[in-house]
C-alpha cells in the first residue's frame, strides 16, 4: 500500500500499480463471480471484469429489460446468464448489486445459496450498515466485502473503456476465509479501479447518502433552481439564466476544478469573478451548514433509510418516480437546458454521418 498525504492527513491507498491486474487475475483464478442485478452498477462491473479475464456470470430476472440488455451485451442464457437463484448457487463470489430496496426483498431468495467459503460483495454499505432494518444478515462462514466505485455504473464502464479507471473505496465486514481483503482488492482492480481507499460499511453509506442528498445531487439541483428562478424574476431570458446557472458550470468551470482544484479555477477566471467568489463563498457555507448538520443526523439515525425502504418498496414507486422526474423535465429551466444543449457547437459543427 502507498501512503498518500490528503490535505495534511495521511492515508493508505492501494493502486493498480501495486496490486496489478495480473495479481488480481491470479487471486480470482478459481472464482466464479456472479453479478446479481443488471441495472445500475451491474453492467459496468460485470463487463469490466469479463474484459479483464475474470470468470463472470450474471443473475437477473427473466423477461425484464435488464435480462435483454445482458443478452445484448454478450451474456448467454444457460451459460453466463441465469435466473438470480441459479447464478447465486453457481457463484463463489456473489456481487449483490440490486437496489437497496431490491436487496431487502430478494434476500430470502439469495441467502440459502451463500454456502461456506463464498464471498458476498456489495458496492454500497446500506444493507449491512442498516441490517436491523433490511434483514440482510449474512451467515458467519462467508466473507462479506465491499468495493464502492466513486461514480455511476455508466462511468465505471466509460472510464474503463477510455483507460482512465475510477477511484473506489473498499471494506471488509467479515473475514471467514482469511482471504477477504485479497478478494476485495482483486475485485476492485478487476472492475477497473485506479486506486482503492479503505473505509467501513458504515462510513461508506454515511458519506454516500450525505453526498447524494447534498453537493452531488440534491443540493446542486436545489441551488441551480434557486439561482435560475431569481434571474428569471428579474427579467433575464431563459437562455441567459440557464447559461449563467448551469451551462458555464458544467461545460467550463467544473472542468477547471477537476483539472487542478478550486484555487486553480479561481486563478483562471476574471479578477471580478475571483473577488466575488471569494467574498460570497463563506456566506453560502454558513447558510447551508445547518442543513448539512440536519442531513448527517438523519442519515446516521436511520431516518433516511426508513424513507428509502418505505418509498422504494411501494408497488407504485416507478409511476410516482416518473411523475417527479417528468415535473423536472417539464420545468422551464430544463426545457431551456434542452434547447441550449442542442445548440452546443460540437453538435452543430459535427461532420455529417458522425
First to last CA, the chain: 44
* Cell of residue 26, nine digits: 491470479
Q: Which one of 113, 124, 234, 236 is the catalytic residue?
A: 124
List the alpha helices (DSSP H) in 62-179: 65-72, 84-90, 100-110, 126-129, 131-134, 153-162
124 labelled catalytic: yes
What are the CA-CA distances from residue 221 to residues 157, 218, 349 (Å)? 25, 5, 30
222: CB partners within 8 A, 6+ apart = none
Judged on CB neighbours under 10 Å (0-12, 13-18, 19+), 187 is: buried
Cα–Cα distance, 350 to 235 (Å, whole number): 34
Catalytic residue positions, numbered: 124
Amino acid at each position: 500500500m502507498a501512503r498518500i498525504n490528503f490535505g495534511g492527513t495521511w492515508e493508505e491507498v492501494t493502486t493498480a500499480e501495486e496490486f496489478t491486474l495480473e495479481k488480481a487475475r491470479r487471486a480470482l483464478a478459481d472464482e466464479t463471480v456472479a453479478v446479481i442485478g443488471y441495472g445500475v452498477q451491474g453492467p459496468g462491473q460485470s463487463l469490466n471484469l469479463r474484459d479483464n479475464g475474470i470468470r463472470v456470470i450474471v443473475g437477473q430476472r427473466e423477461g425484464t429489460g435488464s435480462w435483454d440488455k445482458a443478452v445484448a451485451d454478450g451474456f448467454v442464457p444457460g451459460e453466463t446468464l441465469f435466473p438470480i437463484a441459479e447464478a447465486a448457487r453457481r457463484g463463489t463470489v456473489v456481487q449483490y448489486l440490486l437496489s437497496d430496496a431490491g436487496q431487502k426483498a430478494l434476500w430470502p431468495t439469495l441467502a440459502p445459496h451463500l454456502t461456506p467459503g463464498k464471498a458476498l460483495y456489495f458496492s454500497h454499505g446500506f444493507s449491512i450498515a442498516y441490517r436491523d432494518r433490511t434483514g440482510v444478515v449474512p451467515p458467519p462462514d462467508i466473507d462479506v466485502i465491499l468495493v464502492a466505485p466513486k461514480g455511476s455504473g455508466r462511468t465505471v464502464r466509460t472510464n474503463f473503456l477510455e483507460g482512465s479507471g475510477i477511484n473506489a473505496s473498499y471494506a471488509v465486514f467479515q473475514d471467514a476465509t482469511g482471504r477477504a481483503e485479497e478478494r476485495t482488492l482483486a475485485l476492485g482492480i478487476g472492475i477497473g479501479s485506479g486506486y482503492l481507499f479503505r473505509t467501513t460499511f458504515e462510513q461508506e453509506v454515511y458519506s454516500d447518502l450525505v453526498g447524494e442528498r447534498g453537493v452531488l445531487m440534491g443540493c446542486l439541483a436545489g441551488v441551480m433552481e434557486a439561482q435560475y428562478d431569481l434571474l428569471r424574476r428579474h427579467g433575464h431570458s431563459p437562455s441567459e439564466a440557464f447559461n449563467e446557472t448551469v451551462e458555464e458550470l458544467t461545460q467550463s468551470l467544473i472542468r477547471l476544478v477537476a483539472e487542478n482544484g478550486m484555487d486553480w479555477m479561481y486563478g483562471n477566471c476574471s479578477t471580478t469573478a475571483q473577488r466575488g467568489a471569494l467574498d460570497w463563498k463563506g456566506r453560502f457555507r454558513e447558510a447551508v451548514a445547518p442543513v448539512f448538520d440536519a442531513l448527517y443526523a438523519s442519515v446516521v439515525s436511520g431516518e433516511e433509510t426508513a424513507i428509502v425502504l418505505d418509498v422504494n418498496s411501494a408497488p407504485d414507486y416507478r409511476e410516482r418516480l416518473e411523475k417527479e422526474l417528468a415535473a423536472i423535465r417539464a420545468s422551464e429551466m430544463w426545457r431551456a437546458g434542452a434547447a441550449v444543449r442542442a445548440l452546443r457547437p460540437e453538435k452543430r459543427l459535427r461532420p455529417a454521418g458522425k
